[in-house]
Amino acid sequence: MELDNARIAVLAENQYQELELWYPVMRFREAGAAVTVVGPAAGQVYGSKLGYPVVPDVSVDDVDPADFDCVIVPGGFSPESLRRNAGMLDLVRKVEDDGRVVAAICHAGWVLASAGLAKGRRLTCVSVIKDDVINAGAEYVDEPVVRDGNLITSRLPNDLPDFCRVIAQAISELPERDASDHPSRDYGNSSSANYTAAAKVRTKAMGPGSANYLMFAAAEGSRSLWIQLSQSGCRGSPCPGRHASGAASMASRRAPRYAGRWMRTSRSSPTTRTGRGRRWSSKPAGTRRR
């Protein structure tokens, strides 16, 4: 298969590793492939470990695994959430069952384990989860990239050039689709790395004393991102946004701090807060000690 005929899905969730998502997206779009970012909800903002936002093109509930020639699972801490999403596991599992390419990097080995794809396979991952993939039945090897049939794995962002090179090679070995084999829908590939505000990832307990939590991204200071968030069910204006899970963002409660509620003051001020050697006044902005 020519790379510019390939259809590739890249999975997105909160706490993803920035390079491990955007490097493959840009690399394969530049080569002409149709790259679709798939998330739990379309149009929802998801934040990386450092606050880099991504807005998926489509929800995993609306995709047909048969439409994709390859699925790429980025790492970071997003696989902790991806592995608990039945739709994500079903997508990865069905692409692999069809003999198409499945690629996972870093912590994405968790997704392979939960999807039942690690057992009996030779693979690699970030070393901190090697016990998990070994206990899932995999043969772990410490190499930059490992290919076992249609399964491709890598360890860390430094391995991305080798990772993408082997993915491209595996796709080239797939048979071309029939000219009449069109995708079930137009998924689009408009997700962009451009952004105007960071997406701060928050967590919220599901209930008093609950060990279970919801993770959501709150985009601060960008009206356009708030609008995207508000489409998932937030009411009122201004809208702090909601995650697809229904967890309300706490950004609106914290807005005064980002708007300058705490101001720098002298050491002689009687009301100060200390952080990293600096002192901050708890007086409202606009007031001065005389």
**Distance from C-alpha of 231 to C-alpha of 243, rounded to nearest angstrom:** 10
- All residues at 6 or more sequence positions from 290 whose CB lies less than 8 Å from its CB, including other chains: none
Residue 197 · residue 222 · CB < 8 Å: yes
Residues in the chain: 290
The pairing of beta strand 213-219 with beta strand 199-205: antiparallel
Using CA atoms of 176, 180, 186, 187 in order, give the dihedral in degrees to the nearest 10. -30
Nearest to 229 by CA among 218, 213, 215, 245: 218
Place of tokens 């946004």: 241
Q: At residue 260, what are phi and psi to the nearest 5 degrees? A: 105, 25
Give me the active site residues, please. Answer: 107
Structure tokens at 177: 């689709």
b (16+ CB within 10 A) / e for 4-30: eebbbbbbbbbbbbbbbbbbbbebbee
**Distance from C-alpha of 143 to C-alpha of 76, rounded to nearest angstrom:** 18
**Distance from C-alpha of 166 to C-alpha of 161, rounded to nearest angstrom:** 9
3-state secondary structure of 214: strand
